[in-house]
A and B are shown apart, each in its own frame.
Chain A
Amino acid sequence: MLNMEAPRPTEGFFARELGALLAPDRIRVGAAAARAYECDAYTVDRAEPWAIALPESTEEVAVLVRWCVRHGVPFTPRGAGTGLSGGAMAARGGIIVSTKRMTQILEVDLPNRRILAQAGIANKRLSDAVAAAGLHFAPDPSSQTVSTLGGNIAENSGGPHTLKYGVTAQHILGLTLVDPTGEVVHLGGDATGGPGLDFVGLVVGAEGTLGIVTEAWVKLTPLPEAVHTLLASFAEIDQATASVAEIVGSGILPAALEMMDEGIMRAVSQAFRLSYPEGARALLLIECDGAPEASAKEAAEAERICRAHRALAVEIAEDEAARQRLWIARKKGIGAMGRLAPSIVTHDGVIPRSKLPEMLRFVYEVAEQHRLLVANIFHAGDGNLHPCFGFDDRDPEQIRQVVEAGEKILRKCVELGGSLSGEHGVGVEKSELMSLMFSPDDLCLQADAKRIFNEGDLCNPCKVFPSQKGCIEHRARWRGVAW
């Protein structure tokens, strides 16, 4: 049995052993593969895996995990690798278990509005498969065209429509999990909220530390009959936040309520040649849906509120093409930052809505201190802020600046009575900052809970909880790669 301190086994060993266990084409080793899998969309920390496995079924995943446990080799699940907190990084080396060859829809059950799929399927493909029946899978992270069902479950992802439809957790009926010992367990069933301990709820949001999800039954939601979308621009951020407060206070439940700042407008107008009113410093995207009259009425009320708060302009989508155009700033804003800077890091914190103007001022100050390009997207409905920094990751000094700036931002979120993570997870990015939010006792309790299910910490090690044995030394190594 290999232990953590044992020398890393050779590539040949993995290729031979695992190739024989599954099939040779399921295993990849070598310098190119290791490099390609060294990080996800969070590029500040990187660690190369020893081998990559691409199993095709629950059974193959189980065989693989049992082998890892027997040999003391760490393993890390990975979907599309769009995670923003380093969750899919092989923190202690070992094996990356990719779900990208598990992409099948296994059963479509329209009468009961549910669908069974393998974990590696891209979120959007679930909705595409049932669009003709007027249904969809409601969680809509901006990454939904590529991020996987398994990744969404692990991060409990949300999206602009979370405000009304809820996060991923509310849409998972049951799942098949290969637990950290390699056992296959079926959790939940065909309906949410059965009696007993909510194991499904425990696994959703566990960032892949409680096992590898291989299949899930997900709930399908009817597509809204009507959708009304408007985009308001404001000269002051405070006017936009005041509008948000009044909209929410008035009892309207918009399907989406999203704010973008100047930085986003700048990136988007350069990338897509869109123009926004002169002097605009905040954009507010509001979408109402539901029965046609009700949704139209809500939209009209939202418009009135924005105008009352001196909106510079309120644009209303007349058709689907116009709606898509209004959504561009929200959907492509972060990506468009990539045109202005070689690399970006997107942060994810939660603050009380009323503190947004203060928080944004702080973000701008920090960006200036560290000489970083910055843009902000804010899920105004639930107070989730995404400051996004642009920098050049070929320059070690700039990476250092970005890391420092990020920590300041997150500390400030907690200081303002908010939280470290809205929807991108803790991963390796923020594991050390958990102590800002939880007392040592709380942390120990949570870590204990994890340990009960994940003995030996082989399953996605060093994630979420700080200072697990050995992780501190490893941390120096990941950062070292980037610096």
Chain B
Amino acid sequence: MNAELSELASHCIRCGFCLESCPTFLVTGEETESPRGRIYLARGSLEGRLDWRQAAPHLDACLGCRGCETACPSGVQYGQIVELAREEIAARRAAPGLRLLLGMLTRPGVLRRLGALGRRLPGARMPRILGLLFSNEPPVAGLPVAQWSGMLPPLDETLLMPITGQAFILDGCAMGSLFPRVQEASARLLRRVGLAPKRLASGCCGALHAHSGYVAQGAAMARRVLARLPENDVLVATAAGCGSWLKEQAHGKRRVLDLSELLHENGLGEALKKAPGYWAVATYHDACHLAHAQGIRSQPRELITAIPGLTLLPMPESDLCCGSGGISNLTHPSQAVALQTRKLENAQATGASLLIQGNPGCHLWLAPAAKARGLTVLHTAEALEAAFIGLEWFCDGAKQTAEAERT
């Protein structure tokens, strides 16, 4: 018997305090789709009272958002429980579809091509076959659309503080290929706080693999990425999921930080106060792997609030998963749509026109549907850099289209 899993699961006292923080429970109302239920089913399978195959669909539907960990008074390490349980399940079932999908979605080259295709085919859906591999529902997630990657206006070095150190930005699989503008903005922000931005073209860090039950493979990929980072240097993640996974895998031996943490620590707040800023009403969505996995809530909010002219409004259920959940929007489409709608309704109810967040999964998943409701989704880095050079560089404005056409 998997002693580690048994020990971790035994700390659940079935108090149910996690229920209202669990997105899948909120949309289904079902105990089997709740953290408490999933832990109980994993335990039951482990103790031979239930077949792992019967527990599998319920563990599969988990978004891995770890909202339950934040709510749990008993300190249950749910993230580890679900990884181990999925490993047990993966060992008992061939899931060629899932492997294929993971392989596809985590290769920068493939992503770039998909992204380019996505830009050309408006309204393009993920290939139908992908959806059908996992559920009987047609896919709802769009093909990822790569951001326009034209240059931002040059930085005037003379106005910036002197360079006192450096930091490596993780390009990973998605950020480098699909979000060049976020990466560019992040680099500029690092420079604005006196850090020379370096890029770590590392390939995928394995976070998605680990969260899907291929823990060993994910860990090996993380080791490869971390090995590329020069010792004593800082690795900056612009993707919440990668940041939390690499932090865990670095075991304190390498310094991994989320962009907002590093910028906050290095005084971007002060620099922002002197920036031109812009008028906007915004709200902030807590990416699960920032808020629940890394406990990062206040840093991005404080930075955003420091933008002159911007009003940040609190959003109800701001730390409830948007449904993207790793690759859940491909494996469990209807659940994902219900959560996407809930998130956007909450955002709209605030009256904001900007929805700021810090994770590529949320970004890709929310942006198209948000646009239909008149909301613009931005990465925290974009919102912050916009305070220095103007929001028009980051919205679907005239400037971009003109630039894009020129290139």
- On A, residues with C-beta under 8 Å from B are 28, 30-33, 35-37, 39-41, 43, 52, 54, 80-82, 98, 100-101, 103, 120, 122, 124-125, 128, 143, 145-147, 271, 332, 334-339, 342-344, 392-394
Contacts and interface: CB of A to CB of B under 8 A. Distances in A.
Contacts of B10: 342-343, 392-394
A19 to B, nearest CB: 15
B40 A35 contact: yes
Given A32-B54, A37-B31, A146-B16, 20 more contacts: A32-B41, A35-B49, A36-B31, A36-B37, A39-B14, A54-B29, A82-B15, A82-B17, A100-B29, A125-B20, A143-B17, A335-B17, A335-B73, A337-B13, A338-B15, A342-B10, A343-B10, A343-B13, A392-B10, A394-B10
A145 B20 CA distance: 7
A338 B74 contact: yes
Given A100-B29, A336-B74, A343-B10, A32 B55 contact: yes
Please provide the 9 A-B residue pairs with the shortest distance between their CB atoms, ordered closest to farther. A335-B73, A338-B74, A100-B29, A342-B10, A338-B13, A36-B37, A101-B29, A36-B31, A82-B16
A37 B47 CA distance: 17
Given A54-B29, A100-B29, A338-B73, A36 B40 contact: yes
Contacts of B29: 54, 98, 100-101, 103, 120
Nearest to B14: A41
Interface in B5-47: 6, 10-20, 25, 29-32, 36-37, 40-41, 44, 47
Contact of B16 (A32, A81, A103): A81
A406 to B, nearest CB: 16
Given A43-B14, A146-B20, A335 B72 contact: yes
B257 interface: no
Contacts of A98: 29-31
A430 B68 CA distance: 31
Contacts of B30: 28, 33, 52, 54, 98, 100
- Residue in A81, A124, A344 with the greatest tally of chain B CB atoms within 10 Å: A81
Contacts of B13: 41, 335, 337-338, 343-344
B62 to A, nearest CB: 14
8 contacts: A32-B55, A36-B40, A43-B14, A120-B29, A335-B17, A338-B12, A338-B13, A338-B73
B406 to A, nearest CB: 49
Nearest to A124: B20
Contacts of A393: 10
Contacts of A146: 16-20
Nearest to B71: A145
A392 B43 CA distance: 13
Given A32-B41, A81-B16, A338 B58 contact: no
A338 B8 CA distance: 11
B58 A145 contact: no
Contacts of B47: 394
Interface residues of B, number: 37
B392 interface: no
A29 to B, nearest CB: 11
B50 interface: yes
B interface secondary structure, majority: loop
B6 A271 contact: no
A421 B26 CA distance: 31
A145 to B, nearest CB: 6
Nearest to B40: A36
A342 B49 CA distance: 19
Nearest to A338: B74
B14 A36 contact: no
Interface string B74-104: 1110000000000000000000000000000
A98 B29 CA distance: 8
A28 B14 contact: no
Given A146-B19, A338-B11, A338-B13, A32 B73 contact: no
B17 A35 contact: no
Given A103-B29, A337-B13, A342-B10, A32 B50 contact: yes
Nearest to B10: A342
B302 interface: no
B51 A31 contact: yes
Nearest to B9: A342
A191 B294 CA distance: 48
A339 B17 contact: no
Nearest to A342: B10
B16 A338 contact: no
Given A30-B54, A100-B29, A101-B29, A143 B16 contact: yes
Given A145-B17, A338-B76, A35 B11 contact: no
A122 B25 CA distance: 13
A80 B12 contact: no
Given A31-B50, A54-B29, A342-B11, A80 B37 contact: no
A338 B12 CA distance: 7
Nearest to A128: B316
A342 B72 CA distance: 14
A355 to B, nearest CB: 28
Nearest to B56: A32
- Residue in A32, A36, A37, A100 with the greatest tally of chain B CB atoms within 10 Å: A32
A30 B15 CA distance: 24
Contacts of B20: 122, 124-125, 145-146
B41 A332 contact: no
A194 B145 CA distance: 63
Nearest to B74: A338
A384 B31 CA distance: 30
- Residue in A80, A124, A332, A334 with the greatest tally of chain B CB atoms within 10 Å: A80
A392 B30 CA distance: 27
B74 A339 contact: yes
B403 to A, nearest CB: 44
Contacts of A37: 31
Contacts of A343: 10, 13
A31 B76 CA distance: 25
A39 B14 CA distance: 9
Contact of A339 (B14, B40, B55, B75): B75
A36 B34 CA distance: 10
Contacts of A334: 15, 73
A339 B11 contact: yes
A394 B74 CA distance: 18
A393 B223 CA distance: 38
A169 B10 CA distance: 36
Contacts of B12: 338
Contacts of A394: 6, 10, 47
A181 B273 CA distance: 67
B43 to A, nearest CB: 9
A260 to B, nearest CB: 14
B303 to A, nearest CB: 21
Contacts of A145: 17, 20, 71
